[in-house]
């Protein structure tokens, strides 16, 4: 097993654990409780979906395009909140959001398992004067996922 297999296994394990938790949450909890960024649980899950989708595209592009890759960063300047609003995760059916979240994460897990290791040093220009390697991006994804799951965990604990 390589490092990428273990990362994929970690993502898949989180999906298995959290799908049960998310499916059991009452509508009030997912729609009304807000984190420090003023996001509901529905919106946090929507952000994770967007992150998985955007990272999947970056991972694919970084394996066949010239490095450093010029590809939009959807999160720059708070645009990730615009993505959340335009897609209106707040008013989407919770069960659909959960399934989209689940399958987005399972797909990125699959993509990570199939990385061309000779491309790991390819870079993406993630901001003005900032670059990140494909390898760094892949290793950071589970950390980012767990960060947002911990935010949800805190919101679940609220009374």
Quick: pLDDT tens for 109-118.
999 999 999 9
Query: Does the structure show a pLDDT above 90 at 77?
Result: no
Residue position matching structure tokens 């950071």: 140
Quote the pLDDT of residue 75: 77
Instruction: Give the number of other CB atoms < 10 A from CB of residue 84.
Output: 22
Range of the domain at 26: 3-157
Tokens of 72: 């939009």
Query: Does the structure show a pLDDT above 90 at 78?
Result: no
Quote the pLDDT of residue 128: 87
Q: What Rg do the C-alpha atoms of the chain give, in angstroms?
A: 16
Average pLDDT rounded to a whole number, residues 117-135 = 94
Quote the pLDDT of residue 1: 55
Query: Does the structure show a pLDDT above 70 at 159?
Result: no
CA 75, chain centre distance (Å): 11
**Number of domains composing the chain:** 1
Quote the pLDDT of residue 127: 86
| CATH code for the domain of 100 | 1.20.120.450
- The verdict on pTM exceeding 0.85 is yes
Average pLDDT rounded to a whole number, residues 43-53 = 97
- Residue 110 CA to residue 152 CA, distance in Å, equals 25
Confidence of residue 3 (pLDDT cuts 50, 70, 90): confident
Confidence of residue 132 (pLDDT cuts 50, 70, 90): very high
Tokens of 99: 């399934």
* SS3 per residue for the chain: CCHHHHHHHHHHHHHHHHHHHHHHCCHHHHHHCECCCCCEHHHHHHHHHHHHHHHHHHHHHCCCCCCCEECCCCCHHHHHHHHHHHHCHHHCCHHHHHHHHHHHHHHHHHHHHCCCHHHCCCEEEEECCEEEEHHHHHHHHHHHHHHHHHHHHHHHHCC
């Amino acid at each position: 097993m390589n490092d990428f297999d273990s990362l994929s296994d970690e993502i898949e394990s989180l999906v298995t654990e959290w799908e049960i938790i998310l499916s059991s949450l009452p509508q009030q909890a997912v729609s009304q409780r807000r984190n420090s960024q003023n996001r509901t649980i529905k919106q946090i899950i929507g952000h994770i979906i967007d992150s998985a989708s955007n990272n999947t595209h970056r991972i694919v592009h970084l394996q066949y395009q010239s490095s450093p890759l010029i590809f939009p960063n959807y999160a720059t300047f708070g645009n990730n909140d615009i993505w959340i609003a335009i897609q209106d995760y707040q008013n989407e059916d919770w069960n659909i959001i959960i399934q989209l979240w689940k399958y987005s994460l399972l797909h990125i897990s699959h993509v990570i398992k199939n990385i061309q290791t000779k491309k790991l040093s390819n870079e993406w220009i993630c901001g003005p004067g900032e670059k990140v390697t494909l390898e760094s991006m892949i290793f950071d994804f589970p950390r980012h996922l767990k960060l947002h799951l911990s935010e949800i965990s805190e919101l679940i604990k609220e009374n």
